[in-house]
Amino acid sequence: MNVPPRKLAAIAALIVALLTTWAHAGEVVNVYSYRQPFLIKPMFDAFTGETGIAVNVVYAKKGLIERLSHEGANSPADLIFTADIGRLTDAVNAGVTQPARSTALKTNIPPQYRDPDYQWFGLTARARILVASKDRVQPGELSTYEDLADPEWKGRICTRSAKNAYMVALTAAMIAHHGEAQAEQWLRSVKANLARKPQGNDRAQVKAIMEGVCDVAIINHYYMGKMMADKDQAAWAASVNMIYPNQESYGTHMNVSGMALTKSAPNRENAIKLMVYLSDELAQQMYAEQNFEYPVKQGVPWPGLLQSFGSYKADDLALAEIARHRRAASMLADKVGYDN
């Protein structure tokens, strides 16, 4: 649906006016979120119940970084929430964030999951795993990302677009581990092994395995939990085994959902209180239970479903290092014609 520019401007003005009203309505934190409200509202509600500080949220699928840039110093937003290291670093590069220097944040969040200059912080960790058909792939046949390049898998792999943020991050990690030339050869070989043109989201890859389109796919681990909890998709999840790759080498590639303090942040102190709260044990447990994502804080117990997935070795490569190779990874996807 095409919305006239004048109407878009009116909608944006209304949102700004609403958040400005919130900002003068007592103790508050104003959040711009790329993450859907139902994923984060339980944690915000718990924070409000404990502190009395209200959390107001504007959700959008896209455009929030641009909105912050446009609003500048007049923005009512205190925090921006998003998934993937790509969007977090995009916000920093756009100049719409500021450092949040907090001993508690530094203690709660491991260094690989936060910006070295404290511009962004991971809240939850997500593993980029392999899933393989229970009927057509024997346990042990596949154990690393590098295995996907083996001609044995020709015509047997499904993935989403290589320009998708999750795939870009994985390719960037391959660059960091192996260098750009080897990463290019890996991506070219994976493309040669695809069963179909890259398409769909992570769940669609699992569905394709169940339907016999392919035997192996790359997904974020938490989608397995989401499919298991959905009666219409449980059969998809039941058709595959989960593989946490590279357990004998550098470990499974990790990404995050995260947060950043905005440059304007009219409620800066309240915002940092919320950031600390979300990085601490109770909220970390809630994230894991609600969204099937791993806590970033060490020592937080995993809920039963995550425990059933098993323990694993995570790649401790700093996400800031992965971010450094994102542009090269995106260019490699174009160079090898991965999505063609």
Instruction: Please give the domain boundaries of the chain with CATH numbers for all domains.
Output: 5-125+255-301 (3.40.190.10), 127-253+319-335 (3.40.190.10)
Looking at residue 4, its pLDDT comes to 55
Looking at residue 23, its pLDDT comes to 41
Please list the residues that pair with 327 across neighbouring strands.
none
Residue range 135-173, pLDDT digits in tens: 999 999 999 999 999 999 999 999 999 999 999 999 999
Looking at residue 20, its pLDDT comes to 45
pLDDT over 70 at 3, yes or no:
no
Residue range 123-144, pLDDT digits in tens: 999 999 999 999 999 999 999 9
Looking at residue 21, its pLDDT comes to 45
The chain-wide mean pLDDT, for the chain, equals: 93
Residues 259, 159 contacting (CB under 8 angstroms): no
Residue range 226-276, pLDDT digits in tens: 999 999 999 999 999 999 999 999 999 999 999 999 999 999 999 999 999
Tell me the pLDDT band of 37, cut-offs 50, 70 and 90: confident
Residues 85, 256 contacting (CB under 8 angstroms): yes
Looking at residue 39, its pLDDT comes to 87
pLDDT over 50 at 212, yes or no:
yes
**C-beta contacts of 46-51 below 8 A and 24+ residues apart:** 46/282, 46/283, 46/286, 47/274, 47/277, 47/278, 47/283, 50/277, 51/27, 51/273, 51/277
How many whole angstroms separate alpha carbon 267 and alpha carbon 208?
47
Looking at residue 24, its pLDDT comes to 42
Looking at residue 159, its pLDDT comes to 98
Q: What is the DSSP string of 262-321?
A: ESS-TTHHHHHHHHHHHHSHHHHHHHHHHH-PEESSTTPPPPHHHHHH---PBP---HHH
In the chain, % of residues over pLDDT 90 = 91
Looking at residue 6, its pLDDT comes to 53
